[in-house]
Amino acid sequence: MKVQLENITLAYGGAVAIDDLDITVEDGESLVLLGKSGCGKTSTMRCVAGLETPTRGRITIGDTVVFDAERGVAVPPNRRNVGMVFQSYAVWPHRTIFQNVAFPLRQQKLPKDEIRQRVAETLEIVGLAEFADRGASLLSGGQMQRVALARSLVMRPSVLLLDEPLSNLDARLRDRLRLELREIQQRLNLTCVYVTHDQSEALALADRIALMQGGRIVQIDRPERIYENPCSASVADFLGVSNVFSCVPRGTAEGGSLFGLTGHDVEVLAQDVPGDLDAPKACIRPEDIRLSGDPLRDGNDWLGRVEVVAYQGASVRYRVALKGGPELDAVVGKGTAPLLEVGAQVWASAAPSAVQVLPSEVRT
Ligand SMILES: Nc1ncnc2c1ncn2[C@@H]1O[C@H](COP(=O)(O)OP(=O)(O)OP(=O)(O)O)[C@@H](O)[C@H]1O
């Protein structure tokens, strides 16, 4: 079901945690709230669930207004039909998986047959069908999180809220469950709001990402668009663009605008730079840097020395100290170039279209 937040403001004492927020989550959409610790992600989610009372604004789920500060409407959490999954699993260890998942349906006093059928269906969805009678204390972290997910799904919620549900799991399991979650969300056409501070999780799970800073949304868009067109250097930095440099304009040159990197002798040529930028920064994604023995002569070529080589399996990550300039990160796909050694002299090159000159921050 569609979820709409209008002008939501939430203050704890005098401190504003959410500042006049407007978001619409479309029916069947997975919206990820992404941002640094303390930017207001969890508070936003708790407002939707009814666990916090905003100071101002209105929240609508489907056609029902569940909160309206002006009209004094505040539907209690248990009547909003909102499912929640947290970082801590909150699974009862002394009960079986079946009992854990059946619990909310028993609370609703549904007939036994219906409970059995709905729990079985839900365990099938999360891949735990054959574990129904197992004691929950015998489960791994990943299985526990699946039980927690099943316990929410079994209620057939209008919207599912997930707050860093994978952060207690090890990296491999997190990767696997991330894909499983996305598959379940898409198959069931679930409306989801997912909170994370992990940009790769956000990119993988979102139909749209809402990037939050200081209780406000600074950019909201599809993952590929927000990654390719961040609105500010701080958003680019947060999304993993590790080459972000302060710069000053040096006029135009053939093929674009020229910028000098502050504190260095290096210049960069960039395309499509908006005029009059406040505290401009040049941002270059590591995968857009090419390393080779010769200059490529298509815009930007900088001579450098390989300082660090980190083999990552599918790719190799290099740190290159530019002559007279800063260090650059470059990610080179497996098999696209011979492996370089620490100390090697290389040319680092980037097309002007790969250099984005952005304001340091955007005000909303
Ligand atoms: N119960 C509370 N009382 C007072 N201040 C709070 C309370 N809960 C949150 N805050 C403050 O509100 C702001 C937003 O917190 P929130 O938990 O929503 O951020 P977050 O983005 O989810 O962070 P994290 O990723 O660390 O969970 C923070 O400054 C936080 O310190």
| pLDDT, average across residues 49-55 | 95
Show the ligand 1 pocket: residues with CB < 6 angstroms: 12, 15, 17, 35, 37-43, 197
Give percent above pLDDT 90 in the chain: 69
Expressed in angstroms and rounded, the spacing between residue 113 Cα and the centre of ligand 1 is: 42
Count Cβ atoms within 10 A of the Cβ of residue 338 and give its class: 0-12 exposed, 13-18 middle, 19 or more buried: exposed
Residues of CATH 2.40.50.100 domain(s) within the chain?
Answer: 233-359
120, 121, 125, 129 alpha-carbon torsion, rounded to 10° = 20
Q: Tell me the ipTM for this assembly.
A: 0.93
Which two tokens mark 147? Answer: 């039980």
| pLDDT, average across residues 51-60 | 96
- Choosing among 3.40.190.10, 3.90.1310.10, 3.30.200.20, 3.40.50.300, the CATH entry for 3-228 is 3.40.50.300
Whether the per-residue pLDDT at 317 is higher than 90: the answer is yes
Expressed in angstroms and rounded, the spacing between residue 43 Cα and the centre of ligand 1 is: 6
Give percent above pLDDT 70 in the chain: 99
Residue 282: which H helix or E strand, with range? strand 280-284
Q: DSSP assignment of 296-333, as one string?
A: --SSEEEEEEEEEEEE-SSEEEEEEEETTS-EEEEEEE
- The hierarchical CATH code for the domain 233-359 is 2.40.50.100
Summarize pLDDT for 174-204 with one digit per residue, the tens.
Answer: 888 899 889 989 988 999 999 999 999 999 9
Expressed in angstroms and rounded, the spacing between residue 199 Cα and the centre of ligand 1 is: 19
Alpha helical stretches, state H, the chain = 41-49, 97-107, 112-125, 141-153, 171-188, 199-205, 223-228, 233-238
Residues of CATH 3.40.50.300 domain(s) within the chain?
Answer: 3-228
Residues 57/22, Cβ–Cβ less than 8 Å: no
pTM of the model: 0.90
Whether the per-residue pLDDT at 88 is higher than 80: the answer is no
Summarize pLDDT for 134-166 with one digit per residue, the tens.
Answer: 988 888 888 888 898 899 999 989 999 999 988
